Amino acid sequence: MKNPLWKYFILSAVVFSKEGNYINPIIPGAHPDPSICRVGDDYYIVNSSFEFFPGLPIHHSRDLVNWELVGHGLHREDQCNGEMNLVDVQSDGGIHAPTIRYNKGTFYIITTNVYNRGDGTPGKMVNFIITAKKASGPWSKPHIIEGAPGIDPDIFFDDNGKVYFTGTHAPGDMNKNGIGEIWIQELNLKDWKLVGKRHTVWDGAFGCCTEGPHIYKGNGLYYLMVAEGGTGRNHAVMIAASKQIFGPYEENPRNPILTSRHLTDKYFVNSTGHADLVELPDGRWYMVALGKRNDLNGDSNMGRETYLMPVSWEPAIVKWEQVSKTKWEPVKYLWPVVSPQSGKVERYAPLPFPEKKQYRNDEFIDDFDIKGLNLEWNFVRVPKNGTYSISENPGYFRLYAKPDWIKNRKQFSLVGFRQKESDFEYEVKMKFSPSDDKVECGIIHYQKEYNYLASTVYKDNRKFFLSLRLAEKHKDPIPLKKIRLNNYRDEIIFKVISNDDKYNFFYSLDYGNSFESYSVTKAEVVLDRNYTGAYLGMYATSNGKESSDFADYEWVRYKGFSR
């Protein structure tokens, strides 16, 4: 029996933004460190994905405001092992700050995998490139760039045919991993090797946490744009320019060109930064950047999301040159001005293409009726073989209960999609008839392995129970609620309603005809204030023992509500 509310979800899935405007963020949910490129009239954005798999989500648009997830750069297990380890990668490790570019029929994504063994030895940062003929894939195996320290690499294709790698390193040591200074070196794509001399070119405007470099060329100049100030409320975007790729670079006297550090804590977004620029076919420019909404006590369970701003170009003096013994003349460069009318990320801004309205799709529905798994689903790390099946019981997603609990560096039976609004309704129908006691299956609101809310059903001595468990940082997981399900047979519908910064938990044992409330918690309990963002999903565990038990999920319904 299908959910009686399914028509409500479909009918309310598409709404319009304010007349003549679009609403930010353009890609809601955990989508940080956006990089954008244009191919004709098509636009593509890639984002960081950290320890989640598949990694490197890629969205496509033809109007800059309506974005569709079309694939992932890392979508196969053979891309994610060896030096590219996403199997037992640490929490907050994995894939950081990609750049996407297109050149002569090929897409390129260059990025970093950050991995440490957890035994006190220094972590390793592996910079690599993947390629594809279509942004939707398939993507190649990673081409590792040896001898490239640091994170957040950029790839730049010059009009003379040369290709350049731009990266970061520790201040004063261009061979040491770290952030703080930007370096550039020529890159040979035939053998994926760096060639020639490495040049340290800039340490940013303030010299603090300089990272996220991108190179552009225009107005007779090379522009080097970076992020600075860390990933919190001091985050900012700076830019410099030079007549030569290796410098010297002159700083924009108007830096930073984007930040929210000067705004009130009550503004709708904070921590704006880590940006990329794109030129439209008609010569206009736009910027994408990350930011965090102030939806929940000045923060957001969605983490860092992708925002869009218009850009104009204006001259500013960078230095004075002596042209004679008595005469000096100003040297002016053209510089990008972000959100020219306000200088900040706006919640509502004029549509880039007025004839193309923005459609807000704040819902996610999956009936598991198609052959493949919907692109929205993510696992925490590459899942073990046999974790799930979409073919054993057609029309259902089968999640097997594995011995592993939710722990750092572990592969456990959890699959989820990104939370995209602070206010939402989430419903899941599950069939679960365990043979073993204390095998548990249900739903989860997952922020980190130490920060989640799990609502699960389990059997104990032929009796069934529903348990809500909370994990918080530096604390052992605790049960918030436990109730006996006297009338449980083999099906349950979970419902979570988020409203007024509270999560209300409900369940139904009569196919959704009636719901019982069983707990209310503050949304802040899963506010980790980290940078990966929350997921809503399903979870199963056999709690340390081998088991053949599983849960079959018939459908998932999610609807977000913008504030």
User: Cα–Cα distance between 169 and 173 in angstroms, integer?
Assistant: 7
- Please give the distance of CA 447 from its chain centroid, rounded to a whole number: 13
User: Cα–Cα distance between 258 and 67 in angstroms, integer?
Assistant: 23
Task: For residue 93, give both structure tokens.
Answer: 């490790």
Q: Residue 299 carries which DSSP code?
A: B
- Please give the distance of CA 482 from its chain centroid, rounded to a whole number: 34
Please list the residues that pair with 310 across neighbouring strands.
286
User: Cα–Cα distance between 505 and 445 in angstroms, integer?
Assistant: 12
| Catalytic (active-site) positions | 33, 211
Helix, strand or coil for residue 515? coil
Helix, strand or coil for residue 466? strand
Strand segments, DSSP code E, in 210-281 are 211-218, 221-228, 236-242, 250-251, 258-259, 269-279
352-373: b or e for each residue (b if 16 or more CB lie within 10 Å)? beeeebbebebbbbbbbeeeee
Helix, strand or coil for residue 464? strand
For residue 484, what are the contacts with CB-CB under 8 A and spacing of at least 6? Answer: 463, 464, 465
In which element (H, E) is residue 8 found?
A: helix 6-11
Q: Are 525 and 296 in contact (CB under 8 A)?
A: no
Task: For residue 513, give both structure tokens.
Answer: 């005809």
Q: Are 119 and 296 in contact (CB under 8 A)?
A: no
Task: For residue 56, give both structure tokens.
Answer: 């490197």
- Angle at alpha carbon of residue 446, lines to 444 and 450, rounded to 5°: 115
Q: Are 399 and 412 in contact (CB under 8 A)?
A: no
